[in-house]
Amino acid sequence: MPDSLDAWLYDGITARRQVVRATLVPGSIIVDGLAPIPIADLIDRGDDHRVVFGRKDESGWRLGFDQPLPPDWRAALPHPSRYGALIDRIGLVGAVIGGIAISALVLFGLWIAPQLIAPLVPPSVERKLGDAIVGDMGGQACVDPSGQAILDDLARRLSRKGDPLRVRVVDIPIPNAVALPGGQIALFNGIIQQAKSPDEVAGVLAHEIGHVDHRHVMAGLIRQFGFGLVLGGNSHAAEYADMLLSARYSRDAEREADAFAIQRLTANHISTRPTAEFFARLARHETTGNKRLDSAFSWLASHPVSQERRDAFNAADAKIVAKQPAISEADWKIVRAMCKSHHDDKR
C-alpha cells in the first residue's frame, strides 16, 4: 500500500487552487487525475516555511503540502537550492576558499599579463592607437625644426636601438612630461623653462624613454582594459583591488624607468646629479610658485619623488667618467626658445 498525502495543486493553467491527494511510488509521484510525474521532472520550490514543488517543463505548475513531509518522501523528492547549484554541491566554506583562490589567481594574472602581452603588440598598432587617443595634441605642439632636431638627437642618444620615439615639446607652462602610447613623449614647456641645465631635461627625458622602452604605456592600457573587462561595473571591493594593484604596479614601473635613465645617462657621460636636484626642487614646490597647480598637474603628481629615487640618481653620479653636458650651451638656448614662435603665432 503506497503512501499518500493531502496536497494542493496549481495547474499553471488557471489560478484556481485544487485540493488533491498525492501518492509516492518509486521514481514518480501520482496526483489523482493526472499522469504520473517523474521525480526527475520536479524541482523543489519551497523553503523553511513551506513545502512546494514545481515542474521543470511547466513553469506555473505547483504541488504543495501543508504538513512537513515524512522522511521517506523527503529523501525521495528533490532538495531545495540554497546558494545556487554549484555552491550547494561544494558547500559554503569550500566555495569561499575556492573563490578566494581563483580571484587571487585572476588578479595576479591581470597584474602580470599586461607586461608580458605589451611587447607582443606591433609598434604600428600601438602607433595607430596612440594617434587615435592623443592625435596631434590639439595643435599645442611647438613646431621648430632646429630645436626639434636637437631634441631628436638627444632622444636618439638616450634611447636603445629600436625604440620608436617621437619627442615633442608642448606649449603648456606646467613642469611635466608624459609617455603616451605609440612611443610619443610630450615634454611640457614648463619643465624646459624651469630646468636649470639641459642635464635635468635629459634626465626626465631618459626616464620617459625608459617607460617607452619597457612598454609600460601599452601595458598600462592593457591592464586598464583587462580590469575594466573582468571587474567592470562590479563591487567596490574590485575597485580597491584595482587601485592597490595599479599603485604597486606603477611603483615597479617607475623603478624600471629610473634604472633605464641612469644607465643611459651614464653611457652618454651625462651627470645624473642635476636630475636628482631637479626632483628635490620639484618636491619643494619651487617651480611655478603656484602650489596647487604644481601638485595637481606636474610631473610630481604621477611621479612621487622619494628619497630612495633621489639617492639612486646621486649615487650613480660618482661612477660617471668624462662628464659632458647633455647638449651644448647654444643648442640649449634653441630648445628653450622652441615655444616662442608658437606663442607669437597665437598672438
Partner 1 sequence: MAIPAHDDSTAFQFHGSWREFAPIAFTNLLLSIVTLGIYRFWATTRTRNYLWSRTRFIDERLEWTGKGVELMIGFFIAIILFGIPVIMLKFGLQALALRGHVALAGILFFPLYGALLYIFGLARFRALRYRLSRTFWHGIRGGSENGGWGYGWSSIWKSVIGMFALGLLIPWSMVSLWNERWSAMSFGPHHFTSRAQSGPLMGRFLLFYLLPVAGCVALIGGVATAVATGVTATPGSASATGILFVVLGVIAGYFAIGVIMLAYYAAFFREAVGNLGLGGIDFNFSARTSDWLKLLLGDVVLVVCTLGIGVIFLTYRHWKFLITHLEAGGEIDLDTLTQSTAPLPKQGEGLLDAFDVGAF
Query: Of 71, 84, 122, 145, which lies in the binding site for partner 1, with binding defined by CB under 8 A?
Result: 84
Tell me whether residue 217 or residue 257 sits nearer to Zn ion (CB atom). Answer: 257
Spell out, one character per residue from 120 to 149, where the chain touches partner 1: x when CB under 8 A holds, - when not: ------------xxxxxxxx----------
* Candidate segments 79-87, 112-120, 187-195, 333-341, binder of partner 1 by CB under 8 A: 79-87
Query: Of 1, 2, 15, 319, which lies in the binding site for partner 1, with binding defined by CB under 8 A?
Result: 15
φ, ψ for residue 64, nearest 5 deg: -125, 155
Q: Give, as one character, the DSSP assignment of residue 162.
A: T
Instruction: Decide which of Zn ion, partner 1, none touches 259; Cβ closer than 5 to 8 Å per partner kind.
Output: none
Q: Are 287 and 294 in contact (CB under 8 A)?
A: yes
Least Å distance between CB 212 and partner 1?
A: 20
Find the binding residues for partner 1 in span 95-124 (CB under 8 A).
95-96, 99-100, 102-103, 106-107
Tell me whether residue 137 or residue 178 sits nearer to partner 1 (CB atom). Answer: 137
**146 alpha-carbon distance from chain centroid:** 39
Q: 3-state class of 82 per DSSP?
A: coil
Regarding 230 and contact with partner 1 (CB under 8 A), the answer is yes
Tell me whether residue 12 or residue 119 sits nearer to partner 1 (CB atom). Answer: 12
Instruction: Decide which of Zn ion, partner 1, none touches 67; Cβ closer than 5 to 8 Å per partner kind.
Output: none
Instruction: Decide which of partner 1, Zn ion, none touches 145; Cβ closer than 5 to 8 Å per partner kind.
Output: none
- What's the Cα-to-Cα distance from 153 to each of 148, 173, 208, 249, 292, rounded to whole Å? 8, 24, 15, 31, 35
Distance CA 233, CA 248 (A): 22
Regarding 312 and contact with partner 1 (CB under 8 A), the answer is no
Q: How many other β-carbons are positioned within 10 Å of the β-carbon of residue 101?
A: 10
Q: Are 137 and 170 in contact (CB under 8 A)?
A: yes
Regarding 45 and contact with partner 1 (CB under 8 A), the answer is yes
Least Å distance between CB 257 and Zn ion?
A: 5
Q: Are 320 and 265 in contact (CB under 8 A)?
A: yes
Q: Contact positions toward Zn ion, by CB under 5 A?
A: 254, 257
The residue to which cell 514543488 is assigned? 53
Q: How many other β-carbons are positioned within 10 Å of the β-carbon of residue 157?
A: 16
Tell me whether residue 144 or residue 254 sits nearer to Zn ion (CB atom). Answer: 254
Distance CA 175, CA 170 (A): 11
Distance CA 262, CA 275 (A): 10
Query: Of 5, 30, 34, 87, which lies in the binding site for partner 1, with binding defined by CB under 8 A?
Result: 87
Q: Are 152 and 140 in contact (CB under 8 A)?
A: no
Enumerate binding residues for partner 1 (CB under 8 A). Answer: 10-17, 45, 47, 49, 54, 59-62, 83-84, 87, 92, 95-96, 99-100, 102-103, 106-107, 132-139, 230-235, 237-238, 241
